[in-house]
Amino acid sequence: MLERVFREEWGRVLAALVGFLGDFELAEEAAQDAFATAAERWPRDGEPANPVAWLIATARNRAIDRIRRDRTLAAKARLLDVPDRTEDGLTEMEDTIPDERLELLFTCCHPALSLEAQVGLTLRALGGLSNDEIARAFIVAPETMKRRLSRARTKIKLAGIPFSVPPQHLLPDRLATVLTVIYLIYNEGYGGRMELAAEAISLARVLCDLMPDEPEVHGLLALMRLLHARAPARFSAGEPVLLGDQDRALWDGELIAAGRAGLERALALRGRGPYLLQAAIASLQCEEPIDWPEIAALYTELARLTNSPVVELNRAVAVAESGSPQAALAIVESLDLDDYPYTHSTRAELLRRLGRVPEAADAYRRALALTDREPEARFLRRQLALL
């Protein structure tokens, strides 16, 4: 029970405390104290009527005790003017606790912090992951992650990184940073660590609730849901499976429906941003038969927005699937993306379809030389052997 409350409410409790205390570290300690107290008392006394209000009040009292005891926190003394509240007589304020998770998210994803710190802080502050869990997920030593997060918290305090939703003229850029962080967390998970993918989806759901009119937020959530729905079919016995060969019975139909509903919402909000476009592509890829010309058109639009050669490479694949391998090959050969293994594996596949076998074999070898993931290398060797 407490575990569920922790998973669902850690972010809200911490956000309220950072807002009140103006100090990330103090807030985190106080929140931890409050959850520890709950672990002692709730099994004995029962869960309070409003767990969030109880936790926030308890944490505030703990923090105020610390400020009283600790002279180095004298600057926070003004907070002591707040009248003491008893932990259990709090139910009347339950509806008036503002949800400050959005402020917290924008603080954690402030561009003055390194991207790694943004990701780590977001997982810690909003997702409630422990330092060691985050370190494990990103394959760094726990000590390294601890230092990274602590440096970031110090910078937030000393440099005056605001705890607020950015003003309108800064919002588009800053929201883009938040979405990048969430999608990065998702992609870490997509590469195998599923709990991170689930964490990213749950962060995006919170963000959707808090910013219901932002089409790209709905677009990102829809994209991750649509990709995640196919995740169980992407590998078979450890080997990657191409989209066309995937067992559709393994796809998660409910998740696809939820993703498509989000996509509709984003379109209704007149969105046309990169996440929405990628979600639309992912949605089309869940259909049978797949409308490849439409996907190619969406990639054209996406390439215009992002200027990304990787998007162009994907467009080439869609063009080939639409029946024009020759045109697709021309796209691939125009790309400045020579160190990317997928450039060469795509080129190899196109050359094979055009009957240019020796050139295809060369391209597969080139891709193999650039690949450092073993399952993909095995896949490429199989393709090479089939030529």
Partner 1 sequence: MKYALLIYENAGSPPALDDAEQRSVRAEYYALRDEPTCVSGGQLQPVQTATTVRVQDGRMLTTDGPFAETKEVFGGYYIFELGDLDAALEMAARIPATRMGGSVEVRPLVEVPQRVED
The least distance separating partner 1 from the CB of residue 154, rounded to whole angstroms, comes to 11
The least distance separating partner 1 from the CB of residue 56, rounded to whole angstroms, comes to 24
3-state secondary structure of 235: strand
The least distance separating partner 1 from the CB of residue 74, rounded to whole angstroms, comes to 12
Q: Choose one: 161-169, 181-189, 245-253, 357-365; the region binding partner 1 (CB under 8 A).
A: 161-169
Q: Quick one: which of 162, 191, 192, 240 contacts partner 1 (CB under 8 A)?
A: 162
**Residue 212 sits in the site that holds partner 1 (CB under 8 A):** no
Size of the site for partner 1 (CB under 8 A): 10
**Residue 172 sits in the site that holds partner 1 (CB under 8 A):** no
* CB closer to partner 1, 123 vs 161: 161
**Residue 160 sits in the site that holds partner 1 (CB under 8 A):** yes
Give the C-alpha separation, 138 to 374, whole Å.
Answer: 19
Q: What backbone torsions phi and psi does residue 290 show, to the nearest 5 degrees?
A: -85, 135
The least distance separating partner 1 from the CB of residue 110, rounded to whole angstroms, comes to 8
DSSP state string for 127-140:
T---HHHHHHHTT-
Kindly identify the residues of this chain, within the stretch 47-86, that bind partner 1 according to CB under 8 A. Answer: none
Kindly identify the residues of this chain, within the stretch 83-122, that bind partner 1 according to CB under 8 A. Answer: 110, 112
Q: Choose one: 164-172, 280-288, 303-311, 319-327; the region binding partner 1 (CB under 8 A).
A: 164-172
Q: From residue 108, how far is each of 31, 153, 375 by CA, in Å? A: 17, 9, 35
Q: Residue with structure tokens 């009527």?
A: 49
Q: Quick one: which of 2, 159, 330, 357 contacts partner 1 (CB under 8 A)?
A: 159
The least distance separating partner 1 from the CB of residue 162, rounded to whole angstroms, comes to 4
The least distance separating partner 1 from the CB of residue 160, rounded to whole angstroms, comes to 5
**Residue 158 sits in the site that holds partner 1 (CB under 8 A):** yes
Using an 8 Å Cβ cutoff, are 53 and 91 in contact? yes
Contacts of 386 by beta carbon, 8 Å cutoff, 6+ apart? none
The least distance separating partner 1 from the CB of residue 111, rounded to whole angstroms, comes to 9
- N- to C-terminal Cα separation, the chain: 57
- Name all contacts of 179-184 with Cβ < 8 Å and 24+ positions apart: 179/216, 179/217, 179/220, 179/275, 180/115, 181/108, 181/109, 181/115, 181/118, 181/119, 181/122, 182/122, 182/207, 182/220, 183/220, 183/223, 183/224, 183/275, 184/115, 184/119
3-state secondary structure of 334: coil
Positions in the binding site for partner 1 (CB under 8 A): 110, 112, 158-162, 164, 166, 170
